[in-house]
Amino acid sequence: MGEAFRRLEAQAGYEPRPVQRQMAQFVAECIEAGTPGVVEAPTGVGKSLAVLLPAILACARSDKRIVISTHTNVLAEQYWLKDLPFALSLFPEVQLSTTLAMGRSRYACLSRIHGHELGRTTPELQRFLLEWASVAQVGTESELNAFLTRKAIPQQMMRDLFANLTVPPYCRARACTHYDQCFYYKSRNRATKAQIVITNHAVVLTDALLKEVSDGKASLLGEYDFLVIDEAHDLIDAAQNALASELCLKTAQEIIRTVSIVSNEFTSALESANPPQGFLNQVQLAVQDFSRLVQAPMKRADFGTIPPNGAIIAVAPPEMEQTHAISVSREYYQQAESLVMAIQTLLLQLQRDLRQAWEDHKSQFTEPQKAAVQEVLLQFNLWAKSLFGQLNRLIHPPEGVSWVEPAPEGWRLCYQPLEVSAWLRERLFSNQPTLLMSATLTIDNAFDFYLQQVGLDNPRTLQLPPVFDYPRQCAIYLPPLGTIPTPPANTRQGIQTGYYDCVAQELTRLLHASRGRALVLFASRAEMMEVYRRMPRLDGIPIYVQGDGSNAHLSQQFRENTHSVLFGLRSFWTGFDAPGETLTNLIIVRLPFEVPTTPSQQARQALLELQGKDGFRDWSLPMVKQQMRQGFGRLIRKSTDKGVVCILDPRIQNRSYGREILANLPRGIPIFNRIEDALRHIGQV
């Protein structure tokens, strides 16, 4: 590894980083010893290479299989296209098998491209799709769009095209004539054998869920020796999303569409083999019966006037009901139970009908036909078993909270786990040693809060020092007390209006002072929109608002227009990267305290109360400290960056916990009460 670092440091423009070597040594020791680890690696450490170098060496020396996961597909592709090839170039003598693994919806389905599922696709576009399918390497949307762009296909023709091409939730798999060339299954096959697999958290968690629902018989990633979770601060949210469930009219229609696939899959699997028509007719009738009957309980479901923030229908552990934080609606629960059980009954009946069709006709099948039918049944039953479990969690939550809430189509049933530590420990961390790494894992200089949430037992820990010179590169601006009132908890219009007016006035002044070049982070959409409505037109300074387009498009506009402003919510507090002059002013409008208004937030308070914990000290304040660290991390991304962090919430100055929050930011940053002085400190006046 020392030789690899010498080659790395010989690269033109590379700055040697002792902390990167220190982290790589730590990772190597964890892999070698097979022990779990946690690393806090501040921005600038170069943690991707600090993981890849020891991972490559471990795989080359002992034939290990290592999975490296990050939060998003974009970051995974960056690992795959940029970081991994560069790391491998530092070991010219090493030959390893590597692959990128993503979920079903990220790959095009060859059966759909060659079939008739594309609707009104023009003959010209169909020819291009067939041409692309014959030369594509991985079969992803970005690869297809690049191909069609080279062919001068207009953007409007490409819009939403890939959504009609993706691999469905289940398919005939090995019974498909395109199975050997299938982008998705080729990726899965590589992912179960490659020595280094690059993927994302969703795939890692889906793999764990698939192993759970199939009793270990099915897997996306196979067995591997070591797991690396990058952007580990996002793992908890990713796990909660993976375990969450939802049912509404829209999801019911999606269930019907997915069930209808089974008829097509049987027909396609058997179309070239003169199949028993009676079998196909029996399957089609079973699917039609399900699709017709399942709509009845959905239409009968009437939850009446649901409270604006929703109503809790079930919690686990049930002792939470005895706390003061929540009340559980029996009436709504009975409606939900009746609905869910009706759909589950129909789902079980459909499975019985399909098995009966198989039993009635299996003597008429050839051996290849039997194999094809059994493959389709296997794939469908895995999907149905997973769906049954998701529905069950809505009325029998294993842990967490279920509720009903208003939705555009009337109502929505939801389930959300509150604590995922036990599930992660049992279903993920117990299978192999795991390394968790991120720039923001400690609170008050300790890993305790994070480890309690994530459930990784007795890991080795490494907390690396900051790489950047924050006292020189950065300044903090706090408005003089009285400039902005304390953010009101009261929703009375007059109080809120006065607060929004003051925020808009201060923002206007700050944006003029920094000539735009600002990311403004809000804690809620309602507040963001109220403030935006009060903003005057700023000459030469456009304001982009989250929700006016895709996050990717807004991010690109902001990066390309130096003197612009971006108003963002939670998704811009973490993971967003805009190095250079375009982000000189980071403005945090309000300390992001969670207000317990939603059912999941109320249930969280009930769980803390049941556990004898202080909801503010043991949850709300640590979460704010963590999110403030993540938000702060958007500003300084390179050693040449300079910027000001403006925190407008007066509680950072007039509440004792404000000092605690500031203490979790990098030390030594000067604090100013005049924006001009802060900008002067970083040389921007």
Torsion angle of the four alpha carbons 216, 219, 222, 226, in this order, in degrees rounded to the nearest 10? -90
The predicted-structure confidence for 558-602, as pLDDT tens digits, reads as follows 999 999 999 999 989 987 888 889 999 999 999 999 878 889 999
Q: Is residue 187 part of a domain?
A: no
Contact (Cβ atoms closer than 8 angstroms) between residue 69 and residue 204: yes
Q: Which residues pair with 140 in a beta bridge?
A: 107
Residue count of the chain, please give it.
685
Q: Is residue 267 part of a domain?
A: yes
Most confidently modeled range among 162-166, 368-372, 594-598, 679-683:
679-683
The predicted-structure confidence for 653-676, as pLDDT tens digits, reads as follows 999 999 999 999 999 999 999 999
Torsion angle of the four alpha carbons 233, 239, 245, 246, in this order, in degrees rounded to the nearest 10? 30
Q: Is residue 185 part of a domain?
A: no
Does the N-terminal peptide bond of residue 18 adopt cis geometry, omega within 30 degrees of 0? no
Judgement on whether residues 387 and 442 belong to the same structural domain of the protein: no
Judgement on whether residues 207 and 124 belong to the same structural domain of the protein: no
The 8-class DSSP code of residue 594 comes to P
Q: How far apart are CA 343 and CA 345, in angstroms?
A: 5
The predicted-structure confidence for 106-125, as pLDDT tens digits, reads as follows 999 999 998 755 556 778 88
Q: How far apart are CA 538 and CA 564, in angstroms?
A: 10
In this structure, the strands spanning 226-229 and 400-407 are: unpaired
How confident is the model at residue 272, as a pLDDT?
A: 67
Judgement on whether residues 621 and 639 belong to the same structural domain of the protein: yes
How confident is the model at residue 497, as a pLDDT?
A: 87
Q: Is residue 578 part of a domain?
A: yes
Which strands, in side-by-side order, build the sheet including 474-477? Answer: 543-545, 565-568, 518-521, 585-588, 643-647, 474-477, 671-672
The predicted-structure confidence for 313-344, as pLDDT tens digits, reads as follows 999 999 999 988 899 999 999 999 999 999 99
Q: Is residue 186 part of a domain?
A: no
pLDDT band (50, 70, 90) for residue 183: very high
Q: Is residue 189 part of a domain?
A: no
501-523 burial by CB neighbour count: b if 16+ within 10 A, else e? ebbbebbeebbebbbbbbbbbbb
Q: How far apart are CA 677 and CA 671, in angstroms?
A: 9
Q: What average pLDDT score do residues 8-20 get?
A: 87
> Vertex 459, ends 455 and 463: CA angle to 5°?
110
Q: What average pLDDT score do residues 39-45 get?
A: 94
> Comparing C-alpha atoms, which of 502, 303, 514, 501 is closest to residue 414?
303
Classified as helix, coil or strand, 544 is strand
Judgement on whether residues 478 and 599 belong to the same structural domain of the protein: yes
Judgement on whether residues 592 and 515 belong to the same structural domain of the protein: yes
Judgement on whether residues 288 and 399 belong to the same structural domain of the protein: yes
Judgement on whether residues 335 and 453 belong to the same structural domain of the protein: no
Judgement on whether residues 433 and 316 belong to the same structural domain of the protein: no
Q: What average pLDDT score do residues 406-426 get?
A: 95
User: Within its chain, how far is the Cα of 636 from the centroid?
Assistant: 24
86 or 490, which is more confident?
86
The predicted-structure confidence for 488-528, as pLDDT tens digits, reads as follows 875 555 668 899 999 999 999 999 999 999 999 999 999 99
In this structure, the strands spanning 400-407 and 311-316 are: antiparallel
The predicted-structure confidence for 446-487, as pLDDT tens digits, reads as follows 999 999 999 999 999 999 999 999 999 999 999 999 999 999
Contact (Cβ atoms closer than 8 angstroms) between residue 574 and residue 630: yes
Q: Is residue 52 part of a domain?
A: yes
Residue 228: which residues within 8 A CB-CB, separation 6 or more? 27, 51, 55, 66, 67, 68, 69, 434, 435, 437
pLDDT band (50, 70, 90) for residue 142: confident
| Lowest mean per-residue pLDDT among 44-58, 500-514, 548-562 | 548-562
Give me the domain span that covers residue 109: 105-180
The domain total for the chain is 4
Is the predicted pLDDT of residue 537 greater than 90, yes or no? yes
9 or 37, which is more confident?
37
How confident is the model at residue 492, as a pLDDT?
A: 54
Q: What average pLDDT score do residues 390-401 get?
A: 96
Judgement on whether residues 409 and 424 belong to the same structural domain of the protein: no
How confident is the model at residue 120, as a pLDDT?
A: 61
Contact (Cβ atoms closer than 8 angstroms) between residue 635 and residue 643: yes
pTM: predicted TM-score of the whole model, two decimal places? 0.91
- CATH number for the domain including 90? 3.40.50.300
What is the residue-wise DSSP string for 24-71? HHHHHHHHHHT--EEEE--TTS-HHHHHHHHHHHHHHHH---EEEEES
Contact (Cβ atoms closer than 8 angstroms) between residue 521 and residue 568: yes
Task: Among 149, 180, 211, identify where a domain stops.
Answer: 180
Backbone phi, psi, residue 345, to 5°: -60, -45
Q: Is residue 50 part of a domain?
A: yes
Backbone phi, psi, residue 42, to 5°: -55, 160
Q: How far apart are CA 675 and CA 582, in angstroms?
A: 18
Judgement on whether residues 215 and 249 belong to the same structural domain of the protein: no
How confident is the model at residue 19, as a pLDDT?
A: 95
The predicted-structure confidence for 157-179, as pLDDT tens digits, reads as follows 787 888 889 999 988 898 898 99
How confident is the model at residue 13, as a pLDDT?
A: 80
In this structure, the strands spanning 460-463 and 196-200 are: unpaired
How confident is the model at residue 63, as a pLDDT?
A: 85
Q: What average pLDDT score do residues 67-76 get?
A: 92
Judgement on whether residues 276 and 363 belong to the same structural domain of the protein: yes
469-491 burial by CB neighbour count: b if 16+ within 10 A, else e? ebeebbbbbbbeeeebeebeeee
Judgement on whether residues 25 and 124 belong to the same structural domain of the protein: no
Helix axes 330-361, 249-270, angle to 10 degrees: 10
How confident is the model at residue 447, as a pLDDT?
A: 97
Task: Among 416, 447, 478, identify where a domain stops.
Answer: 416
**Tokens at 21, concatenated:** 């070597």
**Tokens at 265, concatenated:** 């899959």
How confident is the model at residue 194, as a pLDDT?
A: 96
How confident is the model at residue 273, as a pLDDT?
A: 65
| Lowest mean per-residue pLDDT among 31-45, 67-81, 666-680 | 67-81
How confident is the model at residue 72, as a pLDDT?
A: 87
Q: How far apart are CA 200 and CA 75, in angstroms?
A: 8
Return mean pLDDT, the chain: 93
pLDDT band (50, 70, 90) for residue 409: confident
The 8-class DSSP code of residue 289 comes to H
